[in-house]
Structure 1
Amino acid sequence: MEISAAGRLVVRITAADVGKRVSVRSLTQPGVTEGKFTDTVGVLTSWDAGVLAITRKDGESVRVAETALVAGKVVPAAPARRRGPAVSYAELAPVLARGWPPVESERLGGWELRAAAGFTRRANSVLPSGDPGLPLDAALDVVREWYAARGLPAYVQTATGGEGTQEALCAELEARGWVREVTAEVWVGATAPVADRTDPADGPEVLLAREADAAWLGRYQRKGVDEAARAVLGGGPSVWFATVPGDGGSPAAIGRCVVDGRWAGFAAVEVDPARRRQGLATVVMAALARRALAEGASAAWLQVERDNAGARALYERLGFVAHHAYHHHRAPTGEAADR
């Protein structure tokens, strides 16, 4: 706690410190000068109508009446935890799915069949979260027919490397000729250290918007973005798009973040090839992280392919660590499908 030269506790935070990590002491009963105190450390996410909201590292939001404050100060950001936030695959999987939603979906028991006119495998694959309610071969027949009716290849997304993941299903699929085409990893970390990597008052301007405009989409690596792609990109509980303006109307860098409870999911972080190695990816992620903190997200996730060395190095510096891997298995064709 901050103590003055006279030995008294002092409140040294204001509403201007929203978004920063603070430590406050408050009375358990506002207005009672003699009573028990409670200490709270976390990110000051709002200060409205005489009430402070502080999000602790466990994701809990604590509300403190301004009249109950006894002392308070801004404190350095907590160091990134090397192991990332404690989370099970069962908790994280639905968060990932909501962060990149399909245009249409259908349940098959504990499986979700997802489609988005072919825009990314994640939005056009089966997400198995339990028993499909049918023998495996019969369920896979349903899957193939469902995707064939939409003119799409059939994919099943599986996860490995964590408690509750689907190593056994991977083996069953591969034994039936389903081909593992893509493997990526989900990494997790804390939001506050990312937000603290840059000072918004010192550096390039970052514009935040609720929708991806033509300039943002022009920088996005996937070309020919159609209505389905826009629906996926804009879908999710609370989506934000970041843009660092560049020359000639083309962004120098972009990024996307979706806030879902205590989780912030980062994606589509792209930098103009001519502006790389200038820290713009970090600037974008820090701006999005500050927005996510303001909405109460204390933990973060992202997905990265195993061969993307540059991105992996950046995410390690920001405190992210691997949580589990995920794979996309494609249905066999020709003779393999008849086995």
Structure 2
Amino acid sequence: MIATAGIDALMNKGWPAADSTELDGWLVRRNAGVTMRANSVLPASAPFDLDRALDYVENLYAAHQIAPSFQVGPAAQPGDLDEYLAARGYEVRTPTLVMCAEVADVLAKLPEPTTAVNISSTPGDDWMALWWVVDGHGGSDAQPAARQILNRGRALYATISSGRQAQAVGRLALVDDWAGIYCLAVDPAYRRQGLAQATIHGLLQKATTVGVNHVWLQVVEANAPARALYDSLGFQTVSRYHYRVRPQP
């Protein structure tokens, strides 16, 4: 459906970092240490001098108090980067699958929601509160940096709520005629009630009105329940990646 380098570019645009530096084919991303993707190197092309490039990355991240990290997938360059980083002491973190599908095919497999799904172009406070409790990375002081990531790219936000309390939320990043599912979170008290499916349905149904035909998502390889859901909706694995992180002393 799409080349691995192309899906890497979509994911980068779907979750944009505050700052990024072009380094001889590598994109060195920084976002105050909030979320791995926004604080890791996307190694799209091989640098001329690999050791010098690695030294630059490590010094830059150290200056920003960020652990040096690389997002390593099939398109990572140079081709032996993973082995090179391992020899340099970088550890594997969060093996992840990238799955894609046609929006129309997913909608055909989803049941019509029996609860209202509110769609907005910005994340409300109730949306943010639930996502952060279920899937937040860091303390309350990291929330502003996370919210800036959310607001930096074009996206749709779904909320299922009871009164003023969100029960389920999700984000759909919009990139050309593609969309990426992010931040799918359900309050533990309301799980196993079909709210995740309803959230996905609401987002994709709205996406059809803005010219979106294809959808991608990332799912941690070890997350068997989520993978089972996405398999049932017709998503297929098109790529995978993991992070290589250099532990800090």
Report if aligned partners of 1:153, 1:330 keep a CA contact under 8 Å in 2: yes
Superposed displacement of residue 332, structure 1: 5.0
Residue 226 of structure 1: SS of its match in structure 2?
helix
Superposed displacement of residue 175, structure 1: 2.0
- Greater fraction of residues in helix: 2
Higher relative contact order (CA 8 A, sep 6+): 2
Amino acid at match of 2:226: A
Superposition pairs of residues 301-312 of structure 1, within 5 angstroms: 301-312=216-227
Q: 2:149 aligns with which of 218, 223, 232?
A: 232
TM-score (ref. length: structure 2)? 0.91
Q: 2:24 aligns with which of 94, 98, 109?
A: 109
Report if aligned partners of 2:42, 2:76 keep a CA contact under 8 Å in 1: no
Residues 61-116 of structure 1, C-alpha deviation per residue, up to 9 Å, x if partnerless?
A: xxxxxxxxxxxxxxxxxxxxxxxxx1111221111100000011111011011011
Q: Does 1:157 align with 2:74?
A: no
Percent identity, please. Answer: 35
Aligned residue number for residue 30 of structure 1: none
Superposed displacement of residue 246, structure 1: 2.2
Q: Does 1:246 align with 2:157?
A: no
Superposition pairs of residues 1-339 of structure 1, within 5 angstroms: 86-133=1-48, 135-160=49-74, 164-165=75-76, 167-196=79-108, 197-199=110-112, 203-220=114-131, 221-222=135-136, 224=140, 225-236=142-153, 238-247=154-163, 249-331=164-246, 333=248
Unmatched segments (≥5 aa) in structure 2: none
For the pair shown, which has the larger CA radius of gyration, 1 or 2?
1
Report if aligned partners of 1:184, 1:305 keep a CA contact under 8 Å in 2: yes
Residues 256-285 of structure 1, C-alpha deviation per residue, up to 9 Å, x if partnerless?
A: 001111211001111111111111101100
TM-score (ref. length: structure 1)? 0.68
Residues 165-216 of structure 1, C-alpha deviation per residue, up to 9 Å, x if partnerless?
A: 55521111112221112211111111112233233xx510011111111101
Please say which of residues 221-230 and 118-127 is displaced more in the overlay.
221-230
Measured in 2, the distance between the counterparts of 1:279 and 1:158 equals 33
Report if aligned partners of 2:67, 2:247 keep a CA contact under 8 Å in 1: no
Measured in 2, the distance between the counterparts of 1:333 and 1:256 equals 32
Residue 153 of structure 1: SS of its match in structure 2?
coil
Report if aligned partners of 2:94, 2:243 keep a CA contact under 8 Å in 1: yes
Residues 151-176 of structure 1, C-alpha deviation per residue, up to 9 Å, x if partnerless?
A: 1111011103xxx4555211111122
Question: How many positions carry a matched residue from both structures?
Answer: 241
Unmatched segments (≥5 aa) in structure 1: 1-85, 335-339
